[in-house]
Amino acid sequence: MTLASLDNEPSSRDRILDVAESLFARRGYAGVGMKEVADGASLGKSSVFHHFKSKAELYSAACVRILGAFEDRLLRSLAEGGTPSVRLERCIGDLIDVLVAHPTHARLLLRSLFEDDDLPQDGPEGAAVYGSIQNIMGPMAKLLREGMSAGEFRLASVSHVLLLLIGPIVFPFASGDFGEQLLGKDVFDPAQVRRIKGELLDLVRVGLSAPNNAREE
Amino acid sequence: MTLASLDNEPSSRDRILDVAESLFARRGYAGVGMKEVADGASLGKSSVFHHFKSKAELYSAACVRILGAFEDRLLRSLAEGGTPSVRLERCIGDLIDVLVAHPTHARLLLRSLFEDDDLPQDGPEGAAVYGSIQNIMGPMAKLLREGMSAGEFRLASVSHVLLLLIGPIVFPFASGDFGEQLLGKDVFDPAQVRRIKGELLDLVRVGLSAPNNAREE
DNA sequence: GTCTATAATAGGATAGAC
DNA sequence: GTCTATCCTATTATAGAC
């Protein structure tokens, strides 16, 4: 906590993380130079190394920050209660809201999930990434299990369904130019977000519902 | 066509592409050095530059090759006929088969779809990537439209549904360590592939079906 | 905390012999 | 087609002044 944090101006550390997140999201770990990060934060390269002792640590810190944002939102969302289907739909909607509020998140999140080699899995920062992912996936799995026990969701392998749900939630908002060309409009345009969210929730609602449940109640 | 191509031994060009695909898939465009590619293909760096005049061209060529594989399989799959639902499910199953037969494909495919900056969008190779993507997405969109007209699929925005379908098809097989930890087993294990495919096809079958269709026929 | 200067290395790419 | 040798730039990271 510094003096600046009491004010509105973000600290140098936060400015570095902002720039790093945006650059890493676009070009991946190896595609970004520390000089570029420093320039973006209006600092010298050495100042960046003062805050993060290596590039790997900076990358992990950027990942940890966005994973933390997801974790917070997810836990708050789950705490609001409701039936499993209600909570699942609210969770997915809320997670998408986080992705949309920070357009750079989806790409870096996707990278942190499938670029094993980039992350220095050892060290405290690497462990934080791993822990945060666990804290997100755990409650989601629990929610699916509850819904199946309650007879709201059809019986299915929780882990396989979970693995299947990540793609449609994250990829659209990481798809960049491809998504824009497919839709003919910016993926982050509010109207497009609403339609993507709507289609996904429709798909999940009926796709996961138990066969004996009425289709429309 | 060289003499070697009449034999069983792959040409240098193919060996380079094999190595490049595997490396680019794992570490992304910037994360791979031409030296590394050359070593993997048991060649000197200059020999690689003889076959591909730049790193960007090599990357595009690797992407074009896998996109071509998808295109071929998809068009053959669609030509087999059947109702829209039958064809959609067969397509998704066949595309997954391609991903599973070449475990390195999913990651590079995902990258080629969301890493705009990496691809040199200009030039002949960049255009081939773009064209191949169009040749894959076009017929898929047509299939969805047919299914909606026929009353088999519920009415929905074709492009948004398409954007939503890519994630669950590709991500599981690009997820690497994450997927393995989630499932507790290798994602490419035949039994796991069967379950992932099964869950996805279930989700799509009921999730896209028209409301007035009987759930089980 | 931030800077300049510098080290040490690895990167993409080319020239020219064979 | 493949090689060795080379060029030039960019990279991560450190040292030390302010």
| pLDDT for position B116 | 73
Instruction: Please state, in angstroms and as integers, the Cα–Cα distance from residue B155 to each residue in A5, B147, B192, B200, following that order.
Output: 50, 9, 32, 20
Q: What is the pLDDT of residue B217?
A: 40
- Asked if B36 reaches chain A (Cβ–Cβ under 8 Å), the answer is no
Contact residues on chain B for A36, CB-CB shorter than 8 A: none
Which residues of chain A have a CB within 8 Å of the CB of B182? 137, 159, 162-163
pLDDT of residue B119: 66
Number of domains in chain A: 1
Q: State the pLDDT at residue B8.
A: 78
Q: How far is the CA of A128 from the C1' of D16 (A)?
A: 34
Nucleic chain C: which protein residues 112-151 of A have CB below 7 A from it? Answer: none
Selecting from A115, A174, A183 the residue whose C-beta is nearest the C-beta of B114 gives: A174
For residues B5-26, give the mean pLDDT: 90
Q: Give the pLDDT means over successive 10-residue stretches in chain A (217 positions).
A: 65 97 96 98 98 96 96 96 97 98 98 78 78 95 98 97 98 96 97 98 95 56
Strand ranges for A109-198 from DSSP E: none
Query: What number of C-beta contacts closer than 8 Å exist between A and B?
Result: 171
3-state DSSP assignment of residue A80: coil
Give me B124's structure tokens.
Answer: 């002949």
Q: Residue B105 domain-assigned?
A: yes
pLDDT at B180 over 50: yes
Mean pLDDT score, B88-94: 98
Distance in angstroms, CA of B186 to C1' of D2?
A: 40
In a domain? residue B187: yes
User: Can you give the distance from the CA of residue A2 to the C1' of nucleotide D17 in angstroms?
Assistant: 25
pLDDT at B185: 97
CATH code at A148? Answer: 1.10.357.10
As a whole number of angstroms, the distance between CA A214 and CA A209 comes to 9
State the alpha helices, DSSP H only, in A43-104.
45-51, 55-79, 84-101
Partners of A153 in the beta sheet? A209
CA distance B199 to B172: 12
Task: Write down the residue that tokens 């088999």 correspond to.
Answer: B152
Q: How far apart are CA B133 and CA B111, in angstroms?
A: 13
* Residue A57 forms part of a structural domain: no
Distance from CA of A118 to the nearest CA of B (A): 7
Indicate the pLDDT class of residue B2, thresholds 50, 70 and 90: low
Q: Both tokens of residue A76? A: 């708050």
Residue A50 lies in a domain: no
Domain membership of residue A163 as a residue range: 64-208
Find out whether B87 and B80 touch, Cβ atoms under 8 Å. yes
User: Considering only CB atoms, which chain A residues are within 8 Å of B166?
Assistant: 167, 171, 175
Distance A141 CA to C10 C1' (A): 44
> Looking at the partner chain, which of B113, B156, B168 has a beta carbon nearest the beta carbon of A199?
B156
What is the distance between the alpha carbons of residues B176 and B186, in angstroms, rounded to a whole number?
Answer: 8
d(CA B69, CA B102): 10
- Closest alpha carbon within chain B to A206: B207
pLDDT tens for A163-210 read 999 999 999 999 999 999 999 999 999 999 999 999 999 999 999 999
Tokens of A12: 């140098």
Question: Is the CB of A51 within 7 Å of strand C?
Answer: yes
Q: Which residues touch strand D (CB under 7 A)?
A: A 32-36, 45-46, 49, 53-56; B 2, 12, 38, 42-47, 50-51
Q: How many percent of chain B have pLDDT more than 90?
A: 83
Distance CA A88, CA A205 (A): 9
Note whether B151 and B158 are within 8 A (CB).
no
Query: How many angstroms from the chain centroid is the CA of residue A167?
Result: 11
- For chain B, the average pLDDT equals 92
Kindly state whether B169 is in contact with chain A, defined as any CB-CB distance less than 8 angstroms. yes
Q: Integer distance in angstroms from CA B46 to C1' C14? A: 9
**Position B122 pLDDT exceeds 90:** no
Query: Does residue B125 contact residue B57 with C-beta atoms inside 8 Å?
Result: yes
For residues B2-18, average pLDDT? 81
Residue B12, classed as helix, strand or coil, is: helix
CA dihedral defined by B105, B106, B109, B111, rounded to 10 degrees? -120
N residues, chain A? 217
Would you call B207 and A211 a contact, using CB atoms and an 8 Å cutoff? no
**For residues A158 and A93, is the Cβ–Cβ distance under 8 A?**
no
Q: Which residues pair with B209 in a beta bridge?
A: B153
Residue B153 is given by DSSP the state: B
Any domain includes A77: yes
How many Cα atoms sit within 13 Å of A169 on the Cβ side?
A: 25
Could you tell me which of A68, A62, A67 has the C-alpha nearest to residue A37? A62
Cβ distance B159 to A133 less than 8 Å, yes or no, reads: no
